[in-house]
Amino acid sequence: MSVKNLELYKSHILEYGFSVINGIFSDEEVERIIHVLEGIDTSKENFRKSEDLFAIRQFLKEIPEIKSLIFNDMIQRVIKEVFGEKYVVVKSIYFDKPETSNWYVAYHQDLTISVDKKVELQGFGPWTTKQNQFAVQPPLTILENIYTIRIHLDDTDENNGALKVIPGSHTKGIYRPETIDWTVETENICKVERGGIMLMKPLTLHGSNRTTNGKKRRVIHIEFSDSELPEQLNWSEKTH
């Protein structure tokens, strides 16, 4: 992958709010990641398990041995050259959408960040707390600076829950899904190959459909920011 190519992906995500780059992980690298995932104890409280979804919050904290497999040279280049020198991990989740999943997600923006505690701060709110984990909607400037990498461990298309996005919606501030004007907006299905990644700005309106082809969809979702929070508050998962 050349630097020239990365510039193309960078301009695409800035303009449209998303970009797909295939071939970031080899088959062997994907197999190593899956091997670690298959060996974990799934009974921990940060793990959510149902017929339709298995999820691990604070993924990189819970499974630290997987970090060296995820942050290969390619991913490190993407972070540095597409996002910026100062970007660090601030949130991580693992999703496993089983073959028979009826799980679907309506169009939405990712409007909250994970922090270490709840404090009253101007411009921060509303707050939610789940299992002693704190999430808050921060000022728009912080949300605008975040980038997400979604690492795909399976081929993903519209039949097993590939993300559908509304290009350019990340530039329109808080955009309520019920106000989407389909006479001006278009929908794009983000197909990603096994070992590929999808880059996204969290303000990009996105959703996913139910699985209809009997194939798994396993995704590692990692958010990055270069923003400093007010001194009373810390990112709950910030890693350097």
In a domain? residue 240: no
Backbone phi and psi for residue 62, each to the nearest 5 degrees, phi listed first: -75, -35
pLDDT confidence of residue 52? 77
Does the pLDDT value for residue 124 go beyond 60? Answer: yes
Cβ atoms within 10 Å of 135's Cβ, excluding its own: 18
pLDDT band at 237 (very low <50, low <70, confident <90, very high): very high
pLDDT tens for 65-84 read 999 999 999 999 999 999 99
CA–CA distance from 6 to each of 61, 77, 115, 199 (Å)? 29, 9, 31, 12
pLDDT confidence of residue 11? 96
Q: Is 85 exposed, middle or buried (0-12, 13-18, 19+ CB in 10 A)?
A: exposed
In a domain? residue 238: no
User: Among the residues of the chain, which ranges form H helices?
Assistant: 3-16, 27-38, 59-62, 67-70, 73-78, 140-144
Alpha-carbon Rg for the chain, nearest whole angstrom, is 17
- Looking at every residue in the chain, the average pLDDT score rounds to 93
Mean pLDDT value of segment 207-214: 90
The terminus-to-terminus CA distance of the chain in angstroms comes to 25
Mean pLDDT value of segment 228-239: 92
pLDDT confidence of residue 240? 60
Does the pLDDT value for residue 1 go beyond 60? Answer: no
Q: What is the CATH number of the domain that holds 193?
A: 2.60.120.620
Q: What percent of the chain has pLDDT over 90?
A: 80
pTM of the model: 0.94
pLDDT confidence of residue 151? 98
Does the pLDDT value for residue 44 go beyond 90? Answer: no
CA 54 to chain centre: 15
In a domain? residue 185: yes
Does the pLDDT value for residue 133 go beyond 90? Answer: no
In a domain? residue 160: yes
How many residues are listed for the chain in this entry?
A: 240
More confident residue, 116 or 52: 116
Q: How many domains does the chain have?
A: 1
In a domain? residue 121: yes
For the residues of 22-87, what is the DSSP string, one character each? --SS-HHHHHHHHHHHHTS-TTSTTEEE-SS-EEEESHHHH-GGGHHHHS-HHHHHHIIIII-TT-
Identify the domain containing residue 212 by its residue range: 3-225
In a domain? residue 231: no
- In three-state secondary structure terms, 133 is strand
In a domain? residue 234: no
Q: What percent of the chain has pLDDT over 70?
A: 98
- 54 vs 96: CA distance, rounded Å: 5
Mean pLDDT value of segment 229-238: 93
Mean pLDDT value of segment 32-59: 86
Residue pair 95/53 in contact (Cβ under 8 Å)? The answer is: yes
- 17 vs 166: CA distance, rounded Å: 8
In a domain? residue 159: yes
Does the pLDDT value for residue 116 go beyond 90? Answer: yes
pLDDT confidence of residue 23? 95
